[in-house]
Structures are given as structure tokens and as C-alpha cells.
Amino acid sequence: MAVTQIALTGTWELLQSTNLTDGQLAVLQQNWTDLEFTHSLERAMAFERVGAGIEMAKWRASNLQLLFFIYRELFSEEENSLWDTLKMKIKARLWRYWWSYPDEMRYLQGMQAILNDLRQAETNQALLPIKTEMRKQIDAFIAGSDNPFSLSLSPAKADFHFVMSSSLEALDKCFGKVIQVKASQQMVIAAIALKRYQLRHGQLPETLAALVPEFVPSVPMDPFDGQPLKYRRHADGTFLLYSVAENGVDDGGDPTVPASASSTRPSLFWQNPKARDWVWPQPATAAEIQAFLEQAGKTGD
């Protein structure tokens, strides 16, 4: 997924070239089409589940107390008192002989729920509802712990009931990354197909549906809401292509970040997670470049 995001920038720059052929673009488009993420994540999570079972067995058979001491020294900046050390010894023993078994069961049940969601995502167009459901299920499995076990937390203060199952906390974020990269993929495919249409017909199409079946087998879909990507042709020869992004709402191709979510330093990244819509970038005009340089000169950036 990281390499795909790197390739996204290179592909955008390539599409600004004026000497590309339809054959070259067709190869590039097929390469992007062949990328697959959802099933790969499902297989990775299945492997993760098997590995966790092996790891649990090793933890029970190892000097668990020493392991937690190492975690404390490497990841926690807090100093533990003698009482904290004693509590950690007691909790490590309780986890080994009693708490680890329900902990492992919670983890396995949580992973099974996540795998079911990922398998559902392989045949569904709209992925945001699945991500929301996944988050609810994860919250349910780790409910009851105000202090899930974390490497950044002093083991003496962590809830040892959730040593393994607390790792479920981050898994919906993995799926979120899949949705993001699938949106990138679909927008790239659409942009390449638009370029091919323009080369062959001398103008941009009225709608994305006009690309079918000459350039794409079906209209590129937005994985956030499961609907076709949004597109409008402009009279000046440019176009508007966008995804509804992470809020799942069509904001009309508005790439701005709400004031309530923006930081003190604005982001120029078109896939800002907080942006209203993800708008495929258009080359800046000479006037826009000049305005940017003037503004940068004023702020010293």
C-alpha cells in the first residue's frame, strides 16, 4: 500500500505529459487494475491469527515477568516503585495461569469477526459501513478495560486481562488504509481512461459512463460510498474528478478541510483524511502559481 501511494504521485506527473500513446496508457492502466488489497489483507489477518496463537503459547512458557520488565525499560519513561514491581509480578502470574485464556479467546473471537467483515468487503462496493461495523465489534471485545495493555504504558498500570486482545484496537485502522488506497486506485484508473479517451476522440467525455466499454469494463467506483466516482467536464478542457472521501458525503468536489478539523498549518495534500472530498489534482495555472509564490513570500514558507 505504501508503494502504491508513491506510484500515485509518479502516475499523476506522467499523465501531464503531452507525448504519451494510447498503448502506453493502456499498459499503465492495466497495471493499476491488477492491484488487489482487500483479499490480501484478509489473508494477512488470517496469518496474524495463527501467529498470535503460537506467540501466546510461547508467552505462557517463557519468563513473562522478564518480558514485561524489558517492555517497561524500552517503551515506558515512567519510574516504577517497588510496589509497582510487585504488582507487575502478581499480574504476570495471574495472566499466565488464569487471565491469558479468556484473553486469547477474546482475541480469537475478535479476529474471526474482523475476518468475516473483510470477506464481506471483498464483494461489497461500499466499505465505510463495514469499517464502522468493524470498529463497533472491536470496541465490544475490549470493552471493560479503561487501560488496555500497551507497550507505551507501564506494565504495572496496564490491564493484564487484555494483553493479547488489546492488539485488536489497531486493526480497523488497517482496513481504513485499504479503503484509502482502493480510492486512489479507482481515481487513477479513471484519470488514465479519461486521458485515453481524450487522445482518441480529441475531447473529454461528457460522463464516466462514456468510457465503458472502450476504456474500462465498468465505471470506476468510490469505495467510500459504493457509488461511481463523481465527474464533471469543464468548458476550458479541464475536468473535476473526486471521491466523497472519509466523511462519506458528497460535498460537490470541495477539497477543503473544515475549520473545526484543520490545523494551524494548512495541508496541500489532496488526500487529506480530514478533507471534505478527495479531488483529483489539476495542474496549477500560471496565475495560481504566481499567487502561491507571492503568498509564500509573505509568510516566509
Q: Where are the beta strands (DSSP E) in the chain?
A: 230-233, 239-243, 278-279
Q: How many CA atoms lie within 13 A of 280 on its CB side?
A: 29
Question: Residues near 125 by Cβ (< 8 Å), separated by ≥ 6?
Answer: 221, 223, 226, 227
Neighbour count for residue 267 (Cβ, 10 Å): 13
Note the pLDDT of residue 172.
85
66, pLDDT greater than 70: no
CA distance 10 to 16: 10
| Predicted confidence band of residue 151 (pLDDT cuts 50, 70, 90) | very low
Note the pLDDT of residue 79.
62
Note the pLDDT of residue 186.
97
Burial letters 25-48, b for 16+ CB under 10 A, else e: beebbeebbebebbeebbeebeeb
CA distance 127 to 179: 7
Note the pLDDT of residue 292.
83
| Angle at 133 (CA atoms; ends 131, 137), nearest 5 degrees | 115
CA distance 103 to 92: 13
| Predicted confidence band of residue 171 (pLDDT cuts 50, 70, 90) | confident
Tell me: the pLDDT tens digits for 246-272?
999 999 999 998 877 655 455 668 899
CA distance 85 to 71: 13
User: What pTM, to 2 d.p., does this model score?
Assistant: 0.85
Lowest-confidence pick of 39-48, 84-93, 206-215: 84-93
Cα distances (angstroms) measured from residue 50 to each of 80, 104, 108: 34, 12, 9
Tell me: the pLDDT tens digits for 192-229?
999 999 999 999 999 999 999 999 999 999 999 999 99
Q: What is the mean pLDDT of the chain?
A: 87
| Predicted confidence band of residue 92 (pLDDT cuts 50, 70, 90) | confident
Q: How many CA atoms lie within 13 A of 177 on its CB side?
A: 13
Contact between residue 261 and residue 238 where contact means Cβ atoms under 8 Å apart = no
